[in-house]
Amino acid sequence: MFDIYLIRHGETEWNVEGRSQGKLDSSLTKTGVSQAEAIARKLADLNIQADAFLTSPLGRTRQTASIIANHLKLPDLKFDERLAEVSVGSWDGLTHYDIDAQWPRVLDGSTHFDWFFRSPDGESYEMAVQRAKSWLDNTSGVVLAVSHGLIGRIIRGAYLSLPKIEVISLPVPQDVIWRLSGGKIERIALE
């Protein structure tokens, strides 16, 4: 039994530039800082009594978690590699234009949602799903977790046992808290 509040990190400089971050990092923008502060306010309004406060070890999630922690009384922050973003290998840090220039036509026929898994040396969808399931299977209590866009999709999809096409097209806004509880996912919008 668990009650997970899943959060995506705030907007980063590379989000704005259209760069894939994967295992690399860029700092939060002013908007990203504001998003993290708004999430903290919403969590305070919800009066969540977390048993665990977890984050991906990557900088953008650590920065978001730090902002949240400054506004709330939470358990000590712990890092969990299973919450880290899916790596697209040598495509980490690149734009679609960069990828197409270095690997011509590799993205042909891909969609906005499935191109991540075309990288010749990135993490496969199946590997990411196993990581997400491992995290879900080993989570209990009330958990506040700060993660990323793609792995956040996969965590939610694994929780609901959705097929891949639905999982990779789930929305990944940076101003929402996803509550996973009782076999359902609730979208908690910020006001």
* Cα–Cα distance for residue pair 65/76, rounded to 1 Å: 11
Of 11, 81, 85, 191, catalytic? 85
| Active-site residue identified among 9, 11, 123, 148 | 9
DSSP for 152-186, please give it.
HHHHHHHHHT--HHHHTTS---SSEEEEEETTEEE
N- to C-terminal Cα separation, the chain: 29
Task: Give how far Cα 87 sits from Cα of 70, 94, 149, 175, Å.
Answer: 29, 12, 12, 23
Tell me whether residue 9 is one of the annotated catalytic residues: yes
37 is catalytic: no
* Residues involved in catalysis: 9, 85
